Amino acid sequence: MKAIQIHETGGPEVLQLADLPIPQPGPGQVLIRVEATGVNFIEIYFRKGVYKASLPLTLGSEAAGTVEELGPGVNGFKAGDSVASVGVLGSYAEYALAPAAQLVKVPDGLMPEQAAAAMLQGMTAHYLAYSTFPLKAGDTALVHAGAGGVGLLLTQMAARIGARVITTVSTKAKAELSREAGAAETILYTEKNFEAEVKRLTGGKGVDVVYDSVGKTTFDSSLNCLRPRGMLVLFGASSGPVPLFDLIQLSGKGSLFITRPTLWHYIATRAELEWRSGEVLGRAAKGELKLRTEHMYPLAEAAQAQADLADRKTTGKILLEP
């Protein structure tokens, strides 16, 4: 089978197309014929060596496809089932294994590319809006990267709850997409200072919550956008990690609340995986959650897909088609 592997960490050029044997499912595992693979920042962090893994490594963790074969002890799935997971072991491939415990069935009416587009970013948006800072009608939220994969889904969820959503985006085209998703206000941070704009838009009060996936370049101003005791949720590092020095300084100025992180908050338990994926896939199947799946690349072009994601060239979901 074809797969994308790295033998060393580095730029997109370290991604190589390889011919590998189809893996055999072990106890508790399911072999999936991959039909759509999600491209995410986490794979860029593995490629760069920010997250450590032994090499060679077949990249990827999110996919949707069809069950091909069950390993010993797997119940609840059968060959031919349409499934999706964010815990696939090497999803940049034509076939991949997933632990049955991290697999869910895709509801009728949802195509594999839609399921792959909804899972990781959808469940992330869901835990942010419903668990980390549970939004209520009337809250004001600032969402960075409003036209990104997480951003478009989070904006839709927050607007549906009745929150007022302000987003930051880099281009006018992205601003339009963000407004279509439900943003009440969009700030072109490439033209205007977003901190000053947020203060103007909230009459100086500040926002209840900032969902910040950009990190290094936004962190300080994000804090300044908050109302007193508002919450800054730092859940990504698209521009690089926030320097530790900033955090230490902050803890010296007042209080710094940090929750215990897990790699995948949304699948801390099987019950949570079923709840969040059920909500996200179910709403997508009913058309209540709009998915943007325009950026589809052949598997062999995985390097280009990652480069485009990292270079702010994309909106919504980036997918690979094995």
| Binding characters for ligand NDP, 261-300, by CB under 6 A (x = yes) | ----x-----------------------------------
Closest CB to ligand NDP among residues 23, 149: 149
Closest residue by beta carbon to ligand NDP: 148
CB count, 10 Å around CB of 137? 9
Q: Which of 23, 65, 99, 151 binds ligand NDP (CB under 6 A)?
A: 151
Name the minimum Å distance from CB 150 to ligand NDP: 4
C-alpha distance from residue 17 to each of 34, 57, 116, 121, 297 (Å)? 16, 12, 21, 26, 14
Binding positions for ligand NDP, 100-129, rule CB under 6 A: 120-121, 124
CB count, 10 Å around CB of 68? 17
149 binding ligand NDP? (CB under 6 A)? yes
CB 29 within 8 Å of CB 100: yes
41 binding ligand NDP? (CB under 6 A)? yes
CA 148 to the chain's CA centroid? 9
State both tokens at 322.
Answer: 């094995």
6 binding ligand NDP? (CB under 6 A)? no
Q: Which of 236, 242, 299, 319 binds ligand NDP (CB under 6 A)?
A: 236
Pairwise CA distance, residues 38 & 246, whole Å = 33
The interface region with ligand NDP, picked from 2-10, 157-165, 200-208, 309-317 by CB under 6 A, is 309-317
Name the minimum Å distance from CB 151 to ligand NDP: 5
150 binding ligand NDP? (CB under 6 A)? yes
239 binding ligand NDP? (CB under 6 A)? yes
> What secondary structure does DSSP assign to 105-172, as a single string?
EPPTT--HHHHHHHHHHHHHHHHIIIIIS---TT-EEEESSTTBHHHHHHHHHHHHHT-EEEEEESSH
CB count, 10 Å around CB of 240? 11
CB 64 within 8 Å of CB 83: yes
214 binding ligand NDP? (CB under 6 A)? yes
Pairwise CA distance, residues 14 & 144, whole Å = 30
For 33-67, b/e burial (b = at least 16 CB within 10 A) is bbbbbbbbbbbbebbeeeeeeeeebbbbbbbbbbb
Angle at 237 between CA 247 and CA 40, to 5 degrees: 155
Q: Which of 90, 99, 122, 148 binds ligand NDP (CB under 6 A)?
A: 148
The interface region with ligand NDP, picked from 66-74, 91-99, 236-244, 290-298 by CB under 6 A, is 236-244
The interface region with ligand NDP, picked from 94-102, 179-187, 211-219, 290-298 by CB under 6 A, is 211-219
233 binding ligand NDP? (CB under 6 A)? no
213 binding ligand NDP? (CB under 6 A)? yes
Please name the residue that has the structure tokens 């059920």: 278
40 binding ligand NDP? (CB under 6 A)? yes
Helix segments in 162-218, DSSP class H? 172-181, 194-201
Q: Which of 66, 82, 132, 170 binds ligand NDP (CB under 6 A)?
A: 170
Binding positions for ligand NDP, 248-267, rule CB under 6 A: 265
The interface region with ligand NDP, picked from 13-21, 105-113, 140-148, 293-301 by CB under 6 A, is 140-148
Name the minimum Å distance from CB 259 to ligand NDP: 12
Interface positions with ligand NDP (CB under 6 A): 40-41, 120-121, 124, 145, 147-151, 169-170, 174, 213-214, 217, 235-239, 265, 309-310, 312, 314
